[in-house]
């Protein structure tokens, strides 16, 4: 059965597409999966004990917005991490950032702007839920190249004024999946000024914010505070999936201006699926502890270092500033993914599957995305095979 018409422009999702590309072929060696961004480092030790202590709370409906204790723990984390005060009323608990990035758009996007069809901006390539939100809302998704030429960040300010005047929401992902760049403070400040000038809101996807190796990436709430921006201009999304290696907990949050969060809360009061209370307790504990996050970060840093050694001398190789993906330049991403699978058994994702064709160009075409999520030894084996196979 086909999707309704509004989704007719959606390409097939990246992973079924990858299966179609690779599965008819026999892998060249024992498979190594480097495709999905599913963290595989240890979960924090307190998980089981916290869950056991609160198991009886599965007997009650969970608070929709998040328990006061969870919202308090997130508010204190934001204070420690970004040096800015965000009251618990300005935070909403989420089942991971993915649904929040979708539902916040539903709560915030008007049906028209100045009598015209609204525009939602997103980088290209990008995390696919952004496009789904725009299409669901009947807004026009505008895919803005985030390529080497633009420092791998979208140049929203370079769009024509008539497009900018229709923008209602702009997604930003920093550290960026898949390119691994971090948006600098002045870039975020510029975007906030643009949002003020053209009257739109920034949806800042920061779920990789804790995976970095040089300096903690600035957050949109932090920059908004520093430059004195209207707090309603920004909603920041974060998650325990990557920070705490608990993607299956499905726990995250959105924080922003009081009115915007009230609208997200209202939408969720009608149609949300709040996180079960025992899981909220685990989340509360996770946002209150940095030791497990530091240990996790070091494991990624080790892998960045070894990856840089393995790919030394490869033209265009960049160590990611954050996150856990390599965005490797190749002549053709699909051909490279197929070659890597057939010759070495390493499974990687063609960059084009994460991007949209715009005017006949796909900005992911000449890349593969490689996830550094497996334990170190497995990752090293996979990377060495890729180097030999694709860059000999
Ligand atoms: C850029 C980006 N945003 C959001 C998510 C969603 O993560 P979660 O819903 O687990 O918080 C992911 C997951 O891979 C991601 O890569």
Residue 385, C-beta contacts closer than 8 angstroms, at least 6 positions apart:
29, 32, 340, 344, 345, 346
Taking the centre of ligand 1 as the mean of its atom positions, its distance from the CA of residue 324, in whole angstroms, is: 12
Task: Determine whether the shortest distance from the Cβ of 205 to ligand 1 is under 6 A.
Answer: yes
Q: Into which CATH architecture does domain 5-42+292-391 fall?
A: Alpha-Beta Complex (3.90)
Alpha-carbon gap, residue 254 to 242, rounded angstroms? 16
Structure token digits, residue 158:
């370079």
Task: Determine whether the shortest distance from the Cβ of 285 to ligand 1 is under 6 A.
Answer: no
Under 8 Å between Cβ of 285 and 251: no
List the chain domain ranges.
5-42+292-391, 46-289
Q: Which helix (H) or strand (E) holds 50?
A: helix 46-53
Question: Tell me: the pLDDT tens digits for 46-102?
Answer: 999 999 999 999 999 999 999 999 999 999 999 999 999 999 999 999 999 999 999
Taking the centre of ligand 1 as the mean of its atom positions, its distance from the CA of residue 28, in whole angstroms, is: 31
Atom of ligand 1 lying closest to residue 252 CA: 11
Test site for ligand 1: of 95, 128, 174, 207, most ligand atoms within 8 A of the Cβ: 207
Give Cα separations from 251 to 195, 217, 285 (angstroms): 28, 21, 12
Look at residues 104, 72, 46 and name the one whose alpha carbon lies nearest to residue 268: 104
Taking the centre of ligand 1 as the mean of its atom positions, its distance from the CA of residue 371, in whole angstroms, is: 13
Taking the centre of ligand 1 as the mean of its atom positions, its distance from the CA of residue 115, in whole angstroms, is: 33
**What is the model's pLDDT at position 188?**
98
Under 8 Å between Cβ of 198 and 165: yes
Taking the centre of ligand 1 as the mean of its atom positions, its distance from the CA of residue 256, in whole angstroms, is: 18
Residue nearest to atom 13 of ligand 1 (CA): 37
Q: CA Rg, the chain, in Å?
A: 21
Task: Determine whether the shortest distance from the Cβ of 100 to ligand 1 is under 6 A.
Answer: no
Q: Into which CATH architecture does domain 46-289 fall?
A: 3-Layer(aba) Sandwich (3.40)
Residue nearest to atom 5 of ligand 1 (CA): 98
Taking the centre of ligand 1 as the mean of its atom positions, its distance from the CA of residue 288, in whole angstroms, is: 21
pTM of the model: 0.97
Taking the centre of ligand 1 as the mean of its atom positions, its distance from the CA of residue 152, in whole angstroms, is: 18
Task: Determine whether the shortest distance from the Cβ of 207 to ligand 1 is under 6 A.
Answer: yes
**What is the model's pLDDT at position 1?**
64
**What is the model's pLDDT at position 148?**
97
3-state percent breakdown (helix, strand, coil) of the chain, nearest 5: 45, 15, 40
Question: Tell me: the pLDDT tens digits for 343-392?
Answer: 999 999 999 999 999 999 999 999 999 999 999 999 999 999 999 999 98
Q: Which residues of the chain have pLDDT under 70?
A: 1-2
Task: Determine whether the shortest distance from the Cβ of 175 to ligand 1 is under 6 A.
Answer: no
**What is the model's pLDDT at position 238?**
98
Under 8 Å between Cβ of 373 and 325: no
Taking the centre of ligand 1 as the mean of its atom positions, its distance from the CA of residue 392, in whole angstroms, is: 33
**What is the model's pLDDT at position 11?**
87
Atom of ligand 1 lying closest to residue 238 CA: 11
The SS3 of residue 119 is strand
Test site for ligand 1: of 239, 323, 324, most ligand atoms within 8 A of the Cβ: 239
Taking the centre of ligand 1 as the mean of its atom positions, its distance from the CA of residue 385, in whole angstroms, is: 27
């Amino acid at each position: 059965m086909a999707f309704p018409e509004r989704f007719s422009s959606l390409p097939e999702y990246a992973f079924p597409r990858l299966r179609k590309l690779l599965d008819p072929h026999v892998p060249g060696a024992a498979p190594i999966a480097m495709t999905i961004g599913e963290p595989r480092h240890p979960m924090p030790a307190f998980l089981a004990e916290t869950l056991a202590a609160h198991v009886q709370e599965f007997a009650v409906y969970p608070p929709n917005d998040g328990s006061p204790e969870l919202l308090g723990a997130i508010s204190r984390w934001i204070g420690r991490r970004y040096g800015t005060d965000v009251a618990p009323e300005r935070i909403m608990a989420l089942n991971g950032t993915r649904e929040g990035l979708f539902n916040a758009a539903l709560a915030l996007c008007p049906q028209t702007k100045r009598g015209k069809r609204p525009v939602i901006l997103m980088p290209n390539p990008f995390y696919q839920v952004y496009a789904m939100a725009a299409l669901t809302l009947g807004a026009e998704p505008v895919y803005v190249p985030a390529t080497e030429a633009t420092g791998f960040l979208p140049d929203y300010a370079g769009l024509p004024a008539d497009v900018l005047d229709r923008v209602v929401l702009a997604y930003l992902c920093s550290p960026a999946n898949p390119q691994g760049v971090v948006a600098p403070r002045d870039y975020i400040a510029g975007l906030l000024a643009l949002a003020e000038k053209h009257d739109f809101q920034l949806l800042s996807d920061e779920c990789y914010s804790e995976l970095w190796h040089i300096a903690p990436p600035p957050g949109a709430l932090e920059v908004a505070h520093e430059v004195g921006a209207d707090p309603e201009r920004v909603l920041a999304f974060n998650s325990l999936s990557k920070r705490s290696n608990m993607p299956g907990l499905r726990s995250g949050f959105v924080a922003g201006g009081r009115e915007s969060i009230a609208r997200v809360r209202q939408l969720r009061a009608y149609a949300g699926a709040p996180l079960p209370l025992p899981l909220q307790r685990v989340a509360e504990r996770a946002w209150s502890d940095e030791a497990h996050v530091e240990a996790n970060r070091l494991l990624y840093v080790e892998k960045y270092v070894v990856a840089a050694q393995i790919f030394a001398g490869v033209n265009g190789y960049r160590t990611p500033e954050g996150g856990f993906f390599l965005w490797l330049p190749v002549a053709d991403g699909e051909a490279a993914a197929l070659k890597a699978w057939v010759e070495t058994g390493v499974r990687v994702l063609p960059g084009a599957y994460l991007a949209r064709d715009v005017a006949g160009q796909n900005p992911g075409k000449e890349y593969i995305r490689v996830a550094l999520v497996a334990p170190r030894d497995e990752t090293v084996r996979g990377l060495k095979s890729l180097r030999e196979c694709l860059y000999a």
